[in-house]
Amino acid sequence: MTAHNRPLSPHLQVYRPQWSSVLSIVHRLTGIALSLGLILLVWWIAAAASGAPRFATVQYFIGSFLGRLVLFGWTWALFYHLANGIRHLAWDVGWGFALKDAERSAWLVVAASVVLTFVAWFAGYAAMGGS
């Protein structure tokens, strides 16, 4: 009976959400979102390489309300995945595994991702000189 004592994955429908599980799920979701966002980066580079008219089209999209919304979400996803990724790398070398530490680092990841997103966007608007 080798299969008997193995730990099972949490069954999401009957599993009480915790910091650890929610952040883990969001890490995966932001990973998927960032992968899709890479297509936007390829589009931006390809447009810049192909010339001014195409680049103007991309810049117009990015400057639109929808474009800014997508980019804002992408910025947050990147900072979240980055911060939580560092948390995962710390776990990989054995740091911060205690329940209390893991919960504290969870808060830190969420706070850092929000603060850094706003810092980056303020800096971006400053680089444009307002508007």
Partner 1 sequence: MSSVRTPLGRVRGLGSAKEGVQHWWAQRLTALALVPLSLWFIYAMVKLTGADRDVVAAWFAHPLNAVLSIVLIATAFHHAQLGLQVVIEDYVHHEGRKLASIIGVKFLAVLLAAGAIFGVLKLAFGVHG
Residues at the contact surface with partner 1, assessed by CB under 8 A: 2, 5-7, 28, 31-32, 34-35, 38-39, 41-42, 45-46, 48-49, 51-52, 55-56, 59, 63, 75, 78, 82, 85-86, 88-89, 92, 120, 123-125, 127-128
Q: Is the CB of 14 or the CB of 35 nearer to partner 1?
A: 35
**Distance (Å, whole) CA 86 – CA 83:** 5
Q: Is the CB of 18 or the CB of 85 nearer to partner 1?
A: 85
Single out the residue of 24, 31, 33 nearest to residue 110, CA to CA.
Answer: 24
CB neighbour burial string for 110-125, b if at least 16 within 10 angstroms, e if fewer: bebbeebbeeeeeeee
User: Shortest gap between Cβ of 63 and partner 1 (angstroms)?
Assistant: 8
User: Shortest gap between Cβ of 1 and partner 1 (angstroms)?
Assistant: 10
**Distance (Å, whole) CA 46 – CA 23:** 34
